Amino acid sequence: MKVLIYGGGAREHAIAWKVNQSPLLTKLYLAKPNDGFSNLGEIIEFSGFVDLADTARQEGIDLLIVGPEDPLVNGIVDEFKKVNIPAIGPGKDWAMLEGSKAFAKKFMKDNDIPTGEYLTINKKSEIDDVLNQFSIPVVVKADGLAAGKGVFIAQSKKDAKRTIEEFLDGKFGEASKNIVVEEFLEGDEISLISLWDGETLLPMIPARDYKRLLDSDRGPNTGGMGAYCPVELKKQEQSELSEYINKLEVALKREKADFAGVIYSGLILTKDGIKILEYNMRFGDPETQPLLMHLDSDLLVLFVKAARKQLKDIKITWKNDMTLCVVVAAEGYPFSSKNGGCISNIKKIEKKHGVQVFYAGIKLDGSKLIANGGRILSICKTGDYPHQDVYKAAEELEYIYKYYRKDIAGKVGETIL
């Protein structure tokens, strides 16, 4: 099979790394990879989705796999459908489950899926009435995509009002013309990533993502500073999770969600049971890095089964133990991260500590790897207790601006090295 992967983060590097191991693959193509993994396939340059789909048709590409949310919301899969190339990812219509928080909330409410109470606002005159119906803290979300920055937990009504006004004044352009105000939910979060073929929902093992910048879940939200899988659940939580998976499958069928792709449920384990915080219509980053290292099954086979509506009766197999992923970011992330700085010893730390590195903010300067700001790379390993090796590798990584959390998959308050 000829396969095209779209996207240039550590998530897409992990997808390319795993798809490359499949005996089904004859040729891998990459659209917008970063320089760290562009050697895994042939790069396609393109001017837009129509052009990319046309090149894919001429090359005889059999499957498109889309990493990030933006191209999904902007219709990449719709263009590939026009040239009869199947994709892993929804068209514009179902990308809305991630692209509009209000659409997702309505989907959950309509289908009796447990989630927090919410109201929407699109005029300043509605703010006081709406806020009077919530207690503090209260969550304010921009309806559209805002690169993970459109969520604010307000500790006072005054802060909530100021944030809503800023959003409505266009802080995130069109994405914050509508606002979702939501009940604040408390509990541990898990990410459940499932494959969907239009009829069957096939869940992967639960993963945990660490969204805050600083140890002990303090500091600003980020794209994710680390992750691990599987997350051990109590019996009661497991049964609530199974009930939720059934409900989601029924809901997607009822609403005729006719696409093959990935559905990421952001879940929170509250004292009143599992509730759903959000949907993403793609793999999570960084959750994908440990998930795909932990996956024993052939990922490309799973994608092909999804594209052919054949997920029913498929069993995903997993490696033993756990997989840990620590993200190394540039100092200053997530605000104004420092650019530049040579990273010289990745191959050495991979060999010495048996870790796998997936690249994100990386550029090549001749043969040198240069950091390019933001999240730079993910260091991962599978094992009974992979923490020592992953953290030793992070410690020895030669990169002047490195920053990483020291407590991923540790006990609460524990610093691992």
Write each residue from 189 to 218 as x if it is in contact with ligand GLY (CB under 6 A), else as -, in one continuous string. --------------------x---------
User: ∠ at Cα 80 (77, 84), nearest 5°?
Assistant: 130
**Nearest approach, Cβ of residue 340 and ligand GLY (Å):** 26
User: How many whole angstroms separate alpha carbon 175 and alpha carbon 168?
Assistant: 9
Contacts 24+ apart (CB under 8 A), 152-155: 153/184
At which residue do the structure tokens 């929902």 appear? 201
Choose between 223 and 341: whose C-beta lies nearer to ligand GLY.
Answer: 223
90 binds ligand GLY (CB under 6 A): no
- For residue 115, give the nearest of 90, 91, 141 by alpha carbon: 141
* CB-based closest residue to ligand GLY: 284
User: How many whole angstroms separate alpha carbon 322 and alpha carbon 29?
Assistant: 30
**Nearest approach, Cβ of residue 210 and ligand GLY (Å):** 9
User: How many whole angstroms separate alpha carbon 157 and alpha carbon 134?
Assistant: 9
224 binds ligand GLY (CB under 6 A): yes
12 binds ligand GLY (CB under 6 A): no
**Nearest approach, Cβ of residue 382 and ligand GLY (Å):** 19
**Nearest approach, Cβ of residue 10 and ligand GLY (Å):** 11
Choose between 176 and 280: whose C-beta lies nearer to ligand GLY.
Answer: 280
H-run or E-run covering 55: helix 49-59
Tell how strand 27-31 and strand 2-6 pair up: parallel
Choose between 68 and 410: whose C-beta lies nearer to ligand GLY.
Answer: 68
Provide the 10 A C-beta neighbour count for residue 319. 12
One of 240, 285, 298, 407 touching ligand GLY (CB under 6 A): 285
One of 287, 298, 389, 407 touching ligand GLY (CB under 6 A): 287
Piece in contact with ligand GLY (CB under 6 A), picked from 132-140, 280-288, 353-361, 374-382: 280-288
280 binds ligand GLY (CB under 6 A): yes
**Nearest approach, Cβ of residue 278 and ligand GLY (Å):** 8
Write the CB contacts of 176 (distance below 8 Å, at least 6 apart in sequence). Answer: 142, 143, 144, 146, 150, 167, 168, 170
Per the DSSP assignment, residues forming a β-bridge with 270 are 273
Residues that bind ligand GLY (CB under 6 A): 209, 224, 280, 284-285, 287
